[in-house]
């Protein structure tokens, strides 16, 4: 069994930024499970599947093979053998992933892939149900959150920096909707595990959050 650190929390809390930095400092492999849901979402989008059609989504899982690899330490996602990493981070794919990740068949499909990575390697794995469901015996569990306003502002600044036109209100509304879906679904909803350490990063810098998490790890 590898040494396992689980980081869960809502969209935009900074989990991937923080987890990558902790991974670097501690020599763990960073596993981004959201990217796996996004990979399946691309499959559903390619097939023109309506995310509300649970049966169609479940059927489409049958001919999707999602796997993970690493290039220069950076996680790559393969869908039926094709590297689709560069297409993962659009709003369209994120929304499809948020909707379809509520469907049990979709979660089942990715569960073993996530557990097997944690068995083999020292990992820091981020997602929504890692500490509660995927790795209930993780060595360290973190629940990383921040206020909706802070998360929206961070995303707004990120998009502005890329030169994209966006509205702060729309981003905040999108974050609220995603929280609502992720926290209230029946299967593996986002919630803090009883034994997770809560970190609210609203008023913390990135190095402060990284240092706090590193201090909890061996
Ligand atoms: O972290 P992210 O935005 O890349 O995740 C995309 C969607 O995938 C998110 O809305 C919820 C879902 N997800 C999940 O249900 N369980 C996980 N462990 C990771 C992500």
Q: Are 196 and 131 in contact (CB under 8 A)?
A: yes
Helices within the chain (DSSP H only): 15-26, 33-46, 54-61, 91-100, 104-120, 148-161, 168-184, 206-216
Evaluate: CB of 12 within 6 angstroms of ligand 1: no
Evaluate: CB of 182 within 6 angstroms of ligand 1: yes
Q: What angle do CA 132, 213, 131 make, to 5 degrees?
A: 5
Can you tell me which atom of ligand 1 is nearest the CA of 15?
1
Closest protein CA for atom 18 of ligand 1: 127
Of 39, 38, 52, residue with least CA distance to 97: 38
What structural domains and CATH numbers belong to the chain? Answer: 4-216 (3.40.50.300)
Q: The pTM is what?
A: 0.95
pLDDT of residue 91: 85
What is the spatial distance between Cα 162 and Cα 89, in angstroms, rounded to a whole number?
Answer: 13
pLDDT in tens, the chain (218 residues): 899 999 999 999 999 999 999 999 999 999 999 999 999 999 999 999 999 999 999 999 999 999 999 999 999 999 999 999 999 998 899 999 999 999 999 999 999 999 999 999 999 999 999 999 999 999 999 999 999 999 999 999 999 999 989 999 999 999 999 999 999 999 999 999 999 999 999 999 999 999 999 999 99
What is the spatial distance between Cα 147 and Cα 153, in angstroms, rounded to a whole number?
Answer: 10
Evaluate: CB of 38 within 6 angstroms of ligand 1: yes
pLDDT of residue 42: 98
């Amino acid at each position: 069994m590898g040494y396992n650190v689980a980081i869960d929390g809502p969209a935009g809390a900074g989990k991937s930024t923080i987890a990558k930095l902790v991974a670097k400092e501690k020599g763990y492999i960073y596993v981004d499970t959201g990217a796996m849901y996004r990979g399946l979402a691309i499959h559903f989008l390619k097939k023109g599947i309506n995310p509300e059609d649970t049966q169609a989504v479940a059927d489409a899982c049958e001919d999707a093979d999602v796997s993970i690899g690493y290039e220069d330490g950076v996680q790559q996602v393969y869908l039926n053998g094709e590297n689709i990493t560069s297409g993962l981070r659009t709003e369209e794919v994120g929304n499809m992933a948020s909707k379809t990740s509520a469907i049990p068949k979709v979660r089942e499909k990715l569960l073993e892939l996530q557990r097997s990575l944690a068995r083999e390697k020292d990992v820091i794995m981020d997602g929504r149900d890692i500490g509660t469901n995927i790795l209930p015996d993780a060595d360290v569990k973190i629940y990383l959150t921040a206020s909706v306003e802070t998360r929206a502002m961070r995303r707004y600044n990120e998009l502005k920096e890329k030169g994209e036109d966006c509205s702060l209100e729309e981003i905040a509304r999108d974050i609220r909707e995603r929280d609502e879906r992720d926290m209230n679904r029946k299967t593996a909803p986002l919630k803090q595990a009883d034994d997770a350490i809560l970190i609210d990063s609203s008023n913390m810098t990135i190095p402060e959050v990284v240092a706090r998490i590193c201090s909890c790890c061996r």
